[in-house]
Amino acid sequence: MDRGLLYSLKELMLRPGRLMRDYLEGRRARQAKPFLLLMVSAAAIVFLGKYVSAPWAMSAGLQASDFPAMATDARTQAMLVAMADANAQVQGWIGRNFALSTLLLIPLEALAFRIAFIGTRRLNYPEWLVVTAFLTVQTFVFMGIALLLQRWVPAAPGIAIGVALCYGVYSLVRLFAGASRLISTLRAMVGFGLYLVASAVLTSAAVVVLIKLQPA
């Protein structure tokens, strides 16, 4: 099993399109199952997170003094501070639980790609779950490297997310190697865009819920 994990991880990072295409077409002799690979890489991120500061975690919420121009009265100022504090709590939780929050959003990301690639090779939703699992493993690999470098490069986690998005687009283009590269690139970007918008909506909803739960 270890050999299969290492082989799959190497192929996923070097030849992602071929690996995903082989798995979807049933050529899986030397491959590890994508969700096993996903769980192992997620566990590695959790392990690294115990020894390195979590990305995007905020130590404190914003204060009323941060909104001198926006706050026209005490009530508005209090509302803005409540929003900032709730947002800091949500972003902090995401930063401290990056692996878990990413795993929870895999079904949503798969749906976004299913919509963006309608009419292309006719991958069904379960197959997109597999593809998204592979893309998430790539993200965990880049984030793991970033966590190791974060002490010397504080911006490394943010850079890793950007690199993962770009490499995800490249991987999807390689997966659909027989199609137009331009069209595949645009579809991949639309898929990631839909996913990011949906994630932002969920984050905003969580912020609203936290504000509602705060005592008056």
pLDDT values of the chain reduced to their tens digit, one per residue, 216 residues:
556 899 999 999 999 999 999 999 998 888 899 999 999 999 999 998 887 755 445 344 444 455 555 555 677 777 777 888 888 888 888 888 889 999 999 999 999 999 999 977 679 999 999 999 999 999 999 999 999 998 889 899 999 999 999 999 999 999 999 889 999 999 999 999 999 999 999 999 999 998 888 776
CB environment 193-211: b (16+ within 10 A), e (fewer) = ebbeeebeeeeeebbeebe
Q: What does the alpha-carbon distance between residue 82 and residue 89 come to, in Å, rounded to a whole number?
A: 11
Q: What is the reported pLDDT for 76?
A: 75
Q: Please give the pLDDT value at position 25.
A: 92
Q: Report the first-to-last Cα separation within the chain, whole angstroms.
A: 55
pLDDT value, residue 61: 44
Scan for tokens 């912020």, then name that residue: 207
Q: Residue 51: exposed, middle, or buried by beta-carbon count in 10 A (0-12, 13-18, 19+)?
A: exposed
pLDDT at 53: 58
Rg for the chain, CA atoms, rounded: 20
- Which tokens hold the place of 93? 């939780």
Burial 92-114 (b: 16+ CB within 10 A, else e): bbbbebbbebbbebbeebbbbbb
Q: What is the pLDDT of residue 63?
A: 45
Task: Quote the pLDDT of residue 67.
Answer: 55
pLDDT score for 3: 66
Q: How far apart are CA 4 and CA 181, in angstroms?
A: 30
Determine the pLDDT at residue 216. Answer: 60
